[in-house]
A and B are shown apart, each in its own frame.
Chain A
Amino acid sequence: MTTGITHHIPENLIIAYASGALPRPFALVVAAHVSMCDECRARLTAQETAGGAILDTAETSAISDDLRARVLQALDDPIVLPERKTRRGPYPGPVMEALKGQPPRWKSLGLGTRQCIIEHGRAGSVRLLSIPAGQAVPDHGHNGLELTLVLQGAFKDETGYFGPGDLEVADSDLEHTPVADEGETCICLAATDASLRFNTLVPRLLQPLFRI
């Protein structure tokens, strides 16, 4: 758990995560933030309490006779519960899970900035970004929703200061220039449902190449 977190998950994203509707790239960021933030763990559990109340008061549907017998008979069947990955360094359990227990394989984006794409597909993309202290991430806007969770170090932009565990929620209205704070290298987990638009020519040309 990380203390001093001031930027949390918006309520609609918590509900969408609890209900299972949140696309996987964003769900990974939410799971990582909740791993670091007791406040949001309590908020998520509260939403699951509401989900439970709905299940509890839901209309019932008769189950077939043999289902009950099948389940009761299967209680002794041996099963292997997969072991869940746990935090390693700045990477919380769900991130280690997504990395299949391996350290991130970084690719250089130039000027010391590196990325590791965790997933890239129709539901969007999620990746790790590593930005040297004091360096700016190219000025960019977004086509859709972008979630950026700080795992280590910190960054600042037009909207505020983001330290470990803080989550920035950006939408298509936000044009911002995040700058990694002095001190440690800033490592972020970032998810989008669309490609990022960079406002400088060269990064735009590089976009297909780097899938950013």
Chain B
Amino acid sequence: MFTETRDTGLADTASAATLIIKRSVAKKRAQVSDNEISEQTQWMLAVRDNRDRAAFARLFDYFAPRLKGVVARSGAPSAQVEDIVQDVMLTVWHKAAQFDPERAQVSSWIYQIARNRQIDILRRENRPLPEELKRPEEASQDASQIVALEQETAQLKKALARLKPAQREMVERAYLGELSHSDIQAETGLPLGTIKSRIRLGLERLRHELKEMGKP
């Protein structure tokens, strides 16, 4: 009888706790989780905010085969290709806190990590990186800004799909590090203007929040 009561009490406490957690997650998510946000971004946010392993596994299943294709073509010895993919995906897991969907798509964030790791590992040098912008811990996220950036990127992908095969090949070579700076034409023909202004907005919001936080 006594045990029963205590059990019920515990169960109540537990469910109350779950409820509180669920509420706070729901509250957090209300600003972020919009059905319009892509699966990849939702997985990445689950990894970042909840260290969600299932979500990470889905990111792995999506990106690892793509990374392998891209790394293999950049001249890495075949024995090293999977090591680099492994290193990139583990870096994604460990550096998840830096992911900011208002400024970067998951694919572009992983692209950047892949380029860094590839240079560091293959050339055995530290690639010089810009200072990181700290993401404020408590920052709320603006779903409309995230969705807008995703829509711009969808337009970009359509433009990529419309390129003639020879053009597409040149663009791929440029972004996969196969062309030198003097071989790269300044104009790739890709529409990046609106994406740039979206990212600029995300940066301004971030700067503003950091400044607010810095106030006593």
Binding between chains A and B:
yes
Q: Using Cβ atoms and an 8 Å threshold, which residues of chain B touch A13?
A: 181
Q: Using Cβ atoms and an 8 Å threshold, which residues of chain A touch B156?
A: 49-50, 53
CB atoms of B64 and A67 under 8 A apart? yes
CB atoms of B196 and A21 under 8 A apart? no
CB atoms of A54 and B128 under 8 A apart? no
B interface secondary structure, majority: helix
In the complex, A19 Cα to B111 Cα: how many Å?
Answer: 9
Q: Tell me which of A53, A61, A92 contacts B131 (CB under 8 A).
A: A92
CB atoms of B184 and A52 under 8 A apart? no
In the complex, A12 Cα to B180 Cα: how many Å?
Answer: 9
Number of A-B contacts (CB under 8 A): 216
Judged by a CB distance under 8 angstroms, whether A201 is at the interface is no
Interface size band for A: 35 or more
In the complex, A10 Cα to B63 Cα: how many Å?
Answer: 31
CB atoms of A15 and B174 under 8 A apart? yes
Interface size band for B: 35 or more
In the complex, A49 Cα to B70 Cα: how many Å?
Answer: 16
CB atoms of B109 and A52 under 8 A apart? yes
CB atoms of A97 and B153 under 8 A apart? no
Q: Tell me which of B128, B153, B178, B204 contacts A27 (CB under 8 A).
A: B128
In the complex, A63 Cα to B130 Cα: how many Å?
Answer: 32
A130 to B: closest C-beta gap in Å: 21
A182 to B: closest C-beta gap in Å: 30
Judged by a CB distance under 8 angstroms, whether B185 is at the interface is yes
Which residues of A, 5-59, contact B by the 8 Å Cβ criterion? 10-13, 15-16, 18-22, 24, 26-28, 30-32, 34-35, 38-39, 41-59
Shortest 5 CB-CB contacts between residues of A and residues of B: A52-B108, A52-B107, A16-B181, A60-B65, A93-B131
A-B contact pairs, 18 of them (CB 8 A): A19-B176, A20-B118, A21-B177, A39-B200, A44-B130, A45-B108, A52-B105, A52-B109, A55-B110, A57-B157, A57-B160, A60-B66, A68-B64, A70-B86, A72-B53, A72-B60, A94-B128, A97-B129
- In the complex, besides A50-B156, A55-B67, 8 extra interface pairs with C-beta distance below 8 angstroms are A13-B181, A52-B104, A58-B172, A63-B65, A63-B68, A75-B56, A75-B90, A98-B128
Binding site for B on A (CB under 8 A): 1, 10-13, 15-16, 18-22, 24, 26-28, 30-32, 34-35, 38-39, 41-64, 67-68, 70-72, 74-75, 79, 81, 84, 86-87, 92-94, 97-98, 145
